[in-house]
Amino acid sequence: MQVPLFQLQCAMTGVHPSKAVPVAKLKNGIGKVGQESAAAKYAAATESSQFSIENEKPYAELWMGTHPSLPSKDVETQRSLLDLVQDNQALMSQEIGKKYGEKLPFLFKVLSIRKALSIQAHPNKKLAEQLHAKDPKNYPDDNHKPEMTIAVTPFDGLCGFRPLKEISHFLATVPSLRKLIGEEAATEFEEGVNGRETSSSAEDMQRNKKALQAAFSALMTKEKSAIAGAAKDLVASAQEDGEKFAGGGGPSNGGKELADLVVRLNGQFEGDVGLFVLFFLNYVKLEIGEAMFLKADDIHAYLSGDIIECMASSDNVVRAGFTPKFQDIPTLTSMLTYSYAPISEQKMNPVDYPYVTLNRTAYSSSSSAILYDPPIEEFSVVKTELNGKEAKATFEAIQGPSIIICTAGSGKISVGPKSEQVKTGYVFFVGATAECILESDSESFTTFKAFCELSGKETANGVS
């Protein structure tokens, strides 16, 4: 009987994908360069990968899963993980296999971001089906793509619309923004939300969202020449005003912080509409271990850092800024939820994972297993930190598949009678109903485990 434990060989892309691009073909990209890229270092760790890091090349993404654009392989047999789970339904469980078409319901990634990723959102299930049917080249599958981000190094990004009072503040204190949107559109927004910015009334919130959509759409549909001209004024103001930029900033971000951000992003995408979008979106910083969850149809743009990312298994991206790739502004402006809230509402609150037993060495060294559990059924993630040699964590069997990546240290992984050495960057697949044991042979051994178990999870449709 085959033991459901496989070491995986996982592939790199060089850009945040609309289409997976092999690193060998890459000339430019958003990834960190050479050895600075955690994604590249993890990919190079697997001896059979035949992948070596070139110091001058950017490396953005490591994919782990069964997505057909870049499926992982079993190191020993070189068979794709997709083939393996389709040949043996017990690896995923019949329930999960039937529901998700004999494919893993999640895509697990490591991203190493040097240059801003596009301003984007991922469609809900119904819209994904429509976009794929109409334009399969730019929307390569029919699935939705809610996603979760966990910081491995300090991270920053633009995520979700700011509280409305902050947007009104910037319309009043950033002349180039107001001029670009237009006086009429700016005034309509201010008058439309005034006095109702924090109302919890369903009627007020719907009116606020319509006002926000109108103002944001007015910005996104401006001519490129008008945007470029306004951007010159914006950057000049950022360079000159310092702490006084944007009226000294808003409650969430200081003037100097925003001024530096404008100058930095203009250096990457000169004259881009994204320089103005940042006044509509929350600018968030995550420290190591902090996480946030983005529902389908939520707008975001990741700016820098190394992250663990888990998402529904899809490669659909609707873009509208900070990118030379295909942009679909009409779809983006019509699909967004236009939910507005401080970033604290998107940050996750991880909890202790209850289905693991730590041995005495692990317990006495303050080792931990922390659960990041978004309100969808396709995935959850556990971060395990074992401190000290011989610290051990025994994970109870679950009714679904798991993928585990080691991001620091070394040790071993065991399922039944089979044990494998684990080094930083190694990736393993663990089948359903298998107890899994992780044991450290270093002073610090860190892993992330993505898994799917349907029981007790809210349905994905509840957040789409």
Q: Which residues are catalytic?
A: 319
DSSP 180: H
> Do 110 and 381 touch, CB atoms closer than 8 A?
no
Query: What residues contact residue 52 under an 8 Å CB cut-off, 6+ apart?
Result: 44
Query: What residues contact residue 70 under an 8 Å CB cut-off, 6+ apart?
Result: 11, 13, 17, 20, 63
Rounded distance, CA 377 to CA 106, Å? 10
Write the secondary structure of 119-166 as one string of H (helix), E (strand) and C (coil): CEECCCHHHHHHHHHHCCCCCCCCCCCCEEEEECCCEEEEEEECCHHH
Rounded distance, CA 151 to CA 355, Å? 23
Longest CA pairwise span in the chain (Å): 71
> Do 293 and 320 touch, CB atoms closer than 8 A?
no
Cα distances from 415 to residues 2, 408, 427, 428, in angstroms, run: 11, 21, 14, 11
Rounded distance, CA 406 to CA 66, Å? 19
Q: Kindly state the tokens that stand for 35.
A: 């050895």
Nearest to 154 by CA among 244, 288, 320: 288
In angstroms, what is the C-alpha Rg of the chain? 23
Rounded distance, CA 8 to CA 108, Å? 12
**Which residue(s) pair with 293 in the sheet?**
148
